[in-house]
Amino acid sequence: MLSQDKASLRIDAGLLDAINEAAVQTYPNEFVAALRAEEGTIREMLMLPGTISGETSGILHLHMLPIDFSVVGTVHSHPGHSARPSEADLAFFSHFGSVHIITCLPFDRTSWRAYNLRGERIELKVEG
């Protein structure tokens, strides 16, 4: 079982690359996805329509999430050079999941940050 704020949580390196690729493809819009974990490693994303910030076209459609306890959090892209959570992001994080990743320009392996539900930085080990 996953619990919140676990330093041992990991993310698959291939998924990280896929996240950045999706961010590039969606640019200059945000992309949003739910994250699924297996045995403490985030291995899969579920693309969702919508945005968190409302800067572009509305809100994330949370009702489209499967009812599935392997969903541990979310990832979204920022079409700028800051991976800091916005106020809308912080409000969103507090409602759903325990791990929230933001990736920003230039969308590479160094341009992402992970946060807990309070918007505090957490470490995610990259696996593989």
User: Which H or E run includes 76?
Assistant: strand 71-78
Residue 38 bears catalytic tag: no
Task: Quote the CA–CA distance of 106 and 78 in Å, as a whole number.
Answer: 10
Stretch of residues binding Zn ion (CB under 5 A), selected from 12-20, 40-48, 57-65, 80-88: 80-88
Q: For Zn ion, which is the closer residue by CB, 8 or 25?
A: 25
Query: CB of residue 3 vs Zn ion: minimum separation in angstroms?
Result: 25
> Is residue 23 close enough to count as binding Zn ion by CB under 5 A?
no
Among 89, 93, 98, 99, binds Zn ion (CB under 5 A): 89
E-assigned strands of 39-124?
41-48, 71-78, 99-104, 112-115, 121-122
d(CA 97, CA 78): 19
Q: Give the nearer residue to Zn ion in terms of CB position, either 41 or 51.
A: 51
Binding segment (CB under 5 A) for Zn ion, from list 11-19, 67-75, 88-96, 105-113: 88-96
Using CA atoms, how far residue 62 sits from 15, 37, 47, 53, 58, in Å, is 21, 18, 11, 14, 12
Query: Which residue, 54 or 128, is less far from Zn ion as judged by CB?
Result: 54
Catalytic-labelled residue, pool 30, 38, 120, 127: 30
Token representation of residue 84: 């800091």
Point out the residues that are catalytic: 30
Binding site for Zn ion (CB under 5 A): 86, 89
